[in-house]
Amino acid sequence: MRKDYNLEKRKYIIGGIVVTIALIYIIRLFMLQVVDTDYRRHAEGNAFLRKTQYPSRGLIYDREGRLVVYNQPAYDVMMIPREVKDFDTLAFCQAIDITKEEFDTRVARMKDRRYNPGYSSYTPQVLISQMSAEEYGRLQEVLYKFSGIYVQNRIIRQYNYDIAGSLLGNIREVSATDIANDAYYKAGDYTGDLGIEKSYERYLRGEKGVEILLRDARGRIKGEYEDGIYNVAPISGKNLTLSIDAELQAYGEYLMQNKIGAIVAIEPSTGEILALVSAPTYKPSTLVGRERGKNYAKLVSDKYKPLYDRTIMGVYPPGSTFKPTQSLIFLQEGITNLNTLYPCYGGFISGKLKVGCHAHPAPIAMKPALATSCNAYFCYGFKAMLDNRKKYERTDEAFTLWKDYIVSMGYGYKLGIDLPGEKRGFIPNSEYYDKYYSKGRWRALTIISVAIGQGEVLATPLQIANLSATIANRGYYYTPHVVKEIQDTIIDSTYTTPHKTMVDSKHYEDIVEGMRMAVTEGTCRIGEIEGTDLCGKTGTAQNPHGRDHSAFMGFAPRNNPKIAIAVYVENAGFGATYAVPIGSLMIEKYLNDTIATNRKELEKRMATSNTIIYSGVKKH
Amino acid sequence: MESRNTNIFALIDKPTVVIYLLLVLWGWFSIYAASYNYDGTSIFSLDGRAGKQLLWIGCACIVAFVIMMFDTRLLEAYAYPIYAVTILILILTIFIAPNVKGSHSWIVMGPVSIQPAEFSKFAVALCLARFMSAYNFILKRPENMIRAILIIVVPLLIIILQKETGTALVYLAFVLVLFREGMSGLILLAGIGSITYFILALKYAETYWGITPVGEFFVLLLTNIVLIIMTSSKYNKRGAFRIMLYITLACALVAGITNIFTPVNWAYTLYVAIAINSIYTFILSLKVNSAKLLQPIAVAILSIIFLFSVNYIFNSVLEPHQQARIKVSFGMEDDPRGAGYNVNQSKIAIGSGGFLGKGYLAGTQTKLKYVPEQDTDFIFCTVGEELGFLGSTALLILYTALILRIIYISERQRDAFGRIYGYCVASIFTFHLAINVGMVLGISPVIGIPLPFFSYGGSSLWGFTILLFTLLRIDTSRTGRI
């Protein structure tokens, strides 16, 4: 037997080669399986189809517990372009009742990143959104024939009271900005747009759930991963209870038809808003479903700007509704007392300057001045305050104090209502006039019109209503808000903390008296409601857009007021012509539920008259 | 008879049998996992592939038993006729086999399909063992070498004609047998070297450091190292190694200084170093008057020629799909939808297994058919995904142990026939393991050959069983033939 021991050593080389290969492979395995974690992610991306489970959006009730907004199922047809194979376009078009051309446009649009920035051929893309249940039913029967087509359950809003479009807001598909700003959103999600739907989005939307499905290499669903133990159930959005009284809101909209303006009604003891009518208004149901885009565009281009919520965005000269604030400052600062008389013979006259007034007995004291809305009285008072060199060193010092009083009553800054888009109005300060007229070159007479709520002073109807609530409360207000309760959540303390004004509460009683006199014997007589001691103040605001704006601010009953209101009707003339009747009808409706028979005629006249024709818009 | 049977089963190499059974059973479970379909087909059901594999395993056990009953001296005696018949069948197969995915390698007999190529390895191993175990056989004689190579290459070419390139390449594994039996180590080195050079040159063909082509640089660096080691080992004085190292460093220094002023192609620096070192070696060979010292120079020159021809071979000789497969497996091209799909998905499946794996039957990638051929060529993925790093390492160690055990058994044979045959078996297993697992791990090109005892299929299981148990049968008779 020949045995070559030199050659036998080669077994070590051959064994070494085998061991080396195995070692290289073990190292490679270590790199793949332990060091590099990317593969795990890839594997999940491969095999898991994460199907979003959309939560039911929170319902919205009014203050009486009446369901206002609820949900209705809708169906989005989704396409995963990569998984579409052997697609029978004609059969598909037939199933969803669209033409071949329409289908092609939709697919082109879906794939166009300008319209659909999140487009990816690997993920579900919305092909047709918000099909109705009947349409879905037809498609469902043949859905199995179309690979790469899925149906995503969605919800759309339905309205029991088709009112308060700008207050309730609506739902739209998220934009690229939404997705960038909030990780919650994915392309194709819905989010609240305008109104409560927007400001309470976080509560209403709930938590999305996810269903993890296993998808094989051909894209077929092979059931739930681990029998669904990793699925996350969606959590429904929180229900909201509004402070709004749906019937009152509807009534306000009824009265405001064919008018431009706003009604804000507040419960003084809580700051809860009872009605928030912006006119012209629109039905929220027009912004639901597939017609949304078309209808939205129509609203945007409407020359009367129905999307513009005049209650919180409209900034108007408050006119004479501003006068109570002046009375309060004068009393608090001791500029005048209740017996101080000022002359008024056709108005306030000082050299060349004249602020006109209407006929009433003169000289006049504060309460009758409020009742008759005497311009002269407040001009004299304002001048007396700003020119009082014993009390204040300079005019600007006096005016700064004046401004602080006004701000403490809720003017000049946003009140902080729980709705998006509130405007702050405008209350000038000393620096403003220093800049405008240059320092030291202005005095009381230069700016006298602010005393009667004209000139630079601008306020939102909400701020005017808030003044009414403050007076009704004799000196404090709660931040006005439209949501009374959030399901399982304690409402933000900003809405339950009273804000005191700088005026002592004792002075308010006199203002209340003056405002009561306005109804009994002054400018608001048309607003008298039998059995209710309404207090009010008219306003007739001059403005650069045409006829005067008609304004009213008031509350009732005089003691323990239940409702404070501001009504503002653009270009409708005297306060007493439109704003006072509408305001008093609203109060009567709220307090008594019905309108007294003798006032039916008034109600009818208000509802049927058209003041839009006087608006500046009409002219061009 | 009775006592002889007892004898055989007492003498059988138990570690090998244990490893064999472990692998076969593990394979069976893996096939069940790979073809597991969420519809709950039983592991025993003949509708499923696991059930069928169990049938094949049963048959394999019968085959193993029959082989153990066999007198292997007959195999040695009939080695040539067996080889001749096998070659005939292989040729016949080309003509009678139906087209299956482009290849003509399966003979269909009613419900049973058999791939003769799986069995021809056995015939080649027998023939090679018989030929090389002849008395006074010296492999280094050219006529012997040529005949041995012919025995290997003839079936290889026929199988290429069957369009089963993967299976054909397995025959290259017999180089290891030739090496063990006296083939020059240089040829093996050249083989391994060319593969290394080929990979380096191609993988980094389009990578540059400054103006230095990385692939070229590494090949030349290796060439220089080989040159220095070969020269200094053949010229038995230490000084040679040091001088050549200094020459190389001096070249690097000059290049480094030049680099401050103008960018240097470091590959050129290495050409210069190799040239000077070769001249030095040549001077040494003249000094000691030894032709042996010309070998290192020849190797260096051949290496450089090889380097130049790699690009030519790659671009002009290989088919586009072969180029693509090689590029993808070298990570030069990312093509997860095309040629790289299989490899990419198998890497994802294995990589997602992590350290401990997802658990038996809990792998998502293999269950959901992301990995193609997952119960045949890509079966290793199932192990990688479900049993993780721990499981796949254990499997690799089991295979390594089997191959080392086969080498051990081969070496303890008293006659050359048994030893050579044993090395044939070890080489075949090594090649299958290296290429199959390498492919799944994305290291070697995608060549469809099964993982021994693991991949689904009767032909390959029986082929490997016959190979292994014939060795074990030969091994049992070693004591009786002193």
Give the DSSP per-residue string, A492-531.
PGGGTSEEE-SS-HHHHHHHHHHHHHHHHTSTTGGG-BTT
* Residue-range domain boundaries for chain A: 49-242, 246-260+267-275+306-578+588-619
Residue to mutate among A9, A10, A18, with most B CBs inside 10 A, is: A18
Length reported for chain B: 482
Which whole number is the average pLDDT over A377-382? 87
B316, burial (CB in 10 Å: exposed 0-12, middle 13-18, buried 19+): exposed
**Chain A positions in Cβ-Cβ contact with residue B416 (cut-off 8 Å):** 2
Could you report the per-residue pLDDT of B308-331, keeping only the tens digit for each? 887 777 777 777 777 776 666 565
Which ranges of A75-192 does DSSP label H, i.e. alpha helix?
89-96, 100-111, 133-142, 165-168, 176-181
Contact with chain A for residue B364, Cβ under 8 A: yes
Q: Which of B38, B176, B370 to mutate to test the interface with A (most CBs of A within 10 A)?
A: B370
Q: How far apart are CA A296 and CA A165, in angstroms?
A: 12
Kindly determine whether residue A33 and residue B403, on different chains, have CB atoms separated by under 8 Å. no
CA distances (Å), A31 to each of B199, B331, B380, in order?
A: 20, 15, 16
Taking an 8 Å cut-off on Cβ atoms, the answer to whether B352 and A22 are in contact is: no
Contacts of A83 in chain B (CB under 8 A): none
Averaged over A382-406, what is the pLDDT?
87
- For the ranges A286-295, A586-595, B174-183, the lowest mean pLDDT is seen at A286-295
Across the range A1-7, mean pLDDT stands at 62
Looking at chain B from residue 181 to 200, which residues have their Cβ under 8 Å from any Cβ of chain A?
181-182, 185
Give the nearest chain B residue to A40 (CA atoms).
Answer: B352
Specify whether the CB–CB gap between A259 and A561 falls below 8 A: no
pLDDT, tens only, B100-145: 777 778 888 877 788 888 889 999 999 999 999 988 888 888 889 9
Q: Rounded mean pLDDT of A374-402? A: 86
| Contact state of A15 with B414 under an 8 Å Cβ cutoff | no
> Residues of B with CB below 8 A from A228's CB?
none
CATH of A246-260+267-275+306-578+588-619, one of 3.40.710.10, 3.40.640.10, 3.30.420.40, 3.30.56.10: 3.40.710.10
- Please report the pLDDT score of residue B471 as a whole number: 93
- Evaluate if residue A225 carries a pLDDT over 80: no
List residues of A whose CB lies inside 8 A of any B CB: 1-2, 4, 7-8, 10-11, 13-15, 17-19, 21-22, 24-26, 28-30, 32-34, 36, 38-40, 42-44, 46-48, 214-218, 222-223, 225
Is B350 at the interface with chain A, CB within 8 A? Answer: yes
Query: Given B38, B396, B423, which is nearest A25 (Cβ)?
Result: B396
pLDDT exceeds 50 at position B389: yes
Token look-up 């990312």 returns B334
Whether residue B370 and residue A8 make contact (CB cut-off 8 A), yes or no, is no
Cβ distance A33 to B388 less than 8 Å, yes or no, reads yes
Distance from CA of A493 to the nearest CA of B (A): 50
> Percentage of chain A with pLDDT > 70?
94
* Chain B residues in contact with A221 (beta carbon < 8 A): none
B443/A22 Cβ within 8 A: no
Average pLDDT over chain B, rounded to an integer: 84
pLDDT in tens, B251-271: 999 998 988 888 888 888 999
pLDDT at A492: 81
Cβ–Cβ below 8 Å for A8 and B397: no
Nearest neighbour of A1 by CB, restricted to B396, B404, B415: B415
DSSP code for A458:
B
B364 and A225 in contact by Cβ < 8 A? Answer: yes
Q: How far is B259 from chain A (nearest CA, A)?
A: 36
Band the pLDDT of B3: cuts 50, 70, 90.
Answer: very low
Chain-chain contact of A42 with B351 (C-beta, under 8 angstroms): yes
Predicted confidence at residue A618, as pLDDT, reads 47
- pTM: predicted TM-score of the whole model, two decimal places: 0.61
What's the mean per-residue pLDDT of chain A?
Answer: 84
Q: What is the CATH number of domain A49-242?
A: 3.90.1310.10
Please check the confidence at residue B76 and state whether its pLDDT lies above 90: no
Given a cut of 90, is residue A153 above it in pLDDT?
no
In the 8-state DSSP scheme, what is residue A32? I
- CA-CA distances (angstroms) from residue A594 to A164, A247, A564, A589? 21, 11, 18, 5
Nearest Cα of chain B lies from the Cα of A228 at a distance, in angstroms, of: 14
The dihedral formed by the CA atoms of B14, B19, B21 and B27, expressed in degrees to the nearest 10 = -170
Mean pLDDT of A35-50: 74
DSSP character at residue A439: T
Reported as a pLDDT band with limits 50, 70 and 90, residue B482 is very low
Q: Say whether residue B478 is in contact with chain A using an 8 A CB cutoff.
A: no
Q: Residue B339: is its pLDDT beyond 60?
A: no
Instruction: Please report residues of B whose CB lies closer than 8 A to that of A225.
Output: 364
**CA–CA separation, A69 vs A159, rounded Å?**
5
Q: A335 and A503 in contact (C-beta within 8 Å)? A: no
CA distance A316 to A314: 6
Least confident span in A248-252, A255-259, B212-216, B435-439: B212-216
**A140-154, A328-342, A468-482, B38-52: which has the highest mean pLDDT?**
A468-482
Question: What proportion of chain A, given as a percentage, has pLDDT over 90?
Answer: 11
- Residue among B182, B369, B434 minimizing CB distance to A21: B434
For the cut 50, the answer to whether the pLDDT of residue A319 exceeds it is yes
Out of A21, A22, A33, whose CB is closest to B389? A33
Across the interface, of A8, A32, A214, the residue whose CB is closest to B350 is A32
Contacts of B403 in chain A (CB under 8 A): 18
The SS3 call for residue A207 is strand
pLDDT digits (tens, 9 = 90+) for B396-422: 999 999 999 999 999 998 888 999 999
Is B367 within 8 Å of A218 when comparing Cβ atoms? no
Strand blocks (E) in B24-135: 107-109, 112-114
**3-state SS, residue A376:** helix
* pLDDT of residue A493 exceeding 70: yes
Closest-CA distance, B361 to chain A, in angstroms, reads 12
The answer to whether the beta carbons of residues B19 and B401 sit under 8 Å apart is yes
Of the given ranges (A158-172, A210-224, B212-226), which has the lowest mean pLDDT? Answer: A210-224
Q: Please report which confidence band the pLDDT of residue B481 belongs to, taking 50, 70 and 90 as the band edges.
A: very low
Q: Is B331 on the interface with A (CB under 8 A)?
A: no
**A and B: number of Cβ contacts within 8 A:** 128
What pLDDT is stored for residue B89 in this prediction?
92
Q: Do A21 and B369 touch (CB under 8 A)?
A: no
DSSP element (H, E) containing B8: helix B2-11
